[in-house]
Amino acid sequence: MDSKSPYSLVKEMLEAPGLMRRFDHAQTVAWAQAIDAKKRVFMTGEGASRIFPAKNMISLALQKRSPWHICTEGARQAAEYDLKDFIVMGASASGRTRELTGLFEKLKREKITAYGITTAGSRLAEIADHFIPLMSGPEKATAATKSVVEQALLYQSLLRGDEWKNQGRAADLCDDILAQTIAPEIVDLLKGAPVIYFSGRNNGVAEELALKTNEIAHKMSSYLEGTYALHGIEEVMQKGEVVVVVEPFKEEIEKYREVLVKRAGITVIAISSYDTPFPTIKVPVLEGFNGYIQLLAGWNLLVATGLANGIDIDKTIRARKVGNEI
């Protein structure tokens, strides 16, 4: 990405590494202690405020063998659950998301404690029993970026892992990732694709990139969880479509080539820490921060694709900054 870009989206993306570098991972200690008492936490929100922040935390917690029982769903579905035994946490950069504020109002009536991650002075901040103000500042572009990183860091900090010793290194690597120039031949493959699939772990990275594809590249997209791409969807895939595999499972590399490339005529691109037989955007590995690194590499790819197609990446025609606003 070009630091001199006139686009707010690019400027906001480039602010994310600095935000990571300055982040105070000790600010959620009291919240973590509250979870320790119940051992059950439910994270909710809508769109980008939930997909990567919540699922990245769940993935890391399982890897670290956390004793907590952690769940996530959108706020409308969460409102159908009995959450009295959970610590409920919700994130919204605007604090004006209708589904989440409605849930928090319901929890208040039921005397269930709710924790919010949001902008100071917002409706969500007013009705949350406890809240942490986002320090990332306002975003002008439709697609949320730096706020997603801060929300994810806040959730991850609850786990109190030892990866924070690498926080500065993680920020440096994210700076490097955003500064990379995507190979023109890779951009050309995405530029003309009618549909871009993102395949990868259920840790929020590939799913969030599928959402960002709509907002940034203005293309149809779909998220294929885990190895979903190998289990029947090739029946309806069309030549010219692209599958971007995020950190593909090494055991499945040859199967991707056989099922998608040879059998379905699909183009496969990888975002990977190791060499693959596909056009590959190489990314480094750093314990605790791999999801962020992969996500920012995907952002870079989508910005390059949108610009190559002459799109105003700051604006959308129908999509709104706050999808369902109070």
Which pLDDT value is given to residue 157? Answer: 98
Does pLDDT of 316 surpass 90?
Answer: no
Kindly indicate the confidence band of residue 320, based on its pLDDT and cuts at 50, 70 and 90: low
Which pLDDT value is given to residue 324? Answer: 81
Structure tokens at 33: 């202690």
Contact in structure between 152 and 23 (CB atoms under 8 Å): no
Length of the chain in terms of residues written: 326
> What strands, in cross-sheet order, belong to the sheet with 40-45?
69-72, 40-45, 87-92, 114-118, 130-133
Q: Closest Cα to residue 147, out of 44, 13, 26, 31?
A: 13
- CA distance to 56, 71, 72, 116, 185, per residue, from 86 (Å): 19, 9, 11, 14, 49
The counts of H helices and E strands in the chain are: 12, 10
Helix axes 290-308, 8-22, angle to 10 degrees: 170
Kindly indicate the confidence band of residue 28, based on its pLDDT and cuts at 50, 70 and 90: very high
Does pLDDT of 94 surpass 80?
Answer: yes
Q: What is the pLDDT of residues 240-292, one digit of tens each?
A: 999 999 999 999 999 999 999 999 999 999 999 999 999 999 999 999 999 99
Which pLDDT value is given to residue 300? Answer: 97
Q: What is the pLDDT of residues 30-50, one digit of tens each?
A: 999 999 999 999 999 999 999
Q: What is the pLDDT of residues 103-146, one digit of tens each?
A: 999 999 999 999 999 999 999 999 999 999 999 998 899 889 99
Does pLDDT of 21 surpass 90?
Answer: yes
3-state secondary structure of 282: strand
Residues 51, 190: Cα–Cα separation, whole Å? 23
What sections of the chain are H helices per DSSP? 8-22, 29-38, 51-63, 75-78, 98-109, 123-127, 146-157, 167-179, 184-191, 205-212, 253-256, 290-308
Between 325 and 227, name the one with better pLDDT.
Answer: 227
From start to end of 112-266, where are the E strands? 114-118, 130-133, 195-200, 220-225, 242-246
Contact in structure between 199 and 243 (CB atoms under 8 Å): yes
Kindly indicate the confidence band of residue 2, based on its pLDDT and cuts at 50, 70 and 90: confident
Kindly indicate the confidence band of residue 189, based on its pLDDT and cuts at 50, 70 and 90: very high
3-state secondary structure of 264: coil
State the chain's mean pLDDT as an integer.
95
DSSP label of 109: H
Does pLDDT of 319 surpass 80?
Answer: no
Q: Mean pLDDT, to the nearest integer, of 59-76? A: 97
Q: Mean pLDDT, to the nearest integer, of 161-169? A: 96
Q: What domains are defined for the chain? A: 8-166 (3.40.50.10490), 180-308 (3.40.50.10490)
Q: Mean pLDDT, to the nearest integer, of 6-30? A: 96
Phi/psi for 7 (5° steps) reads: -85, 130
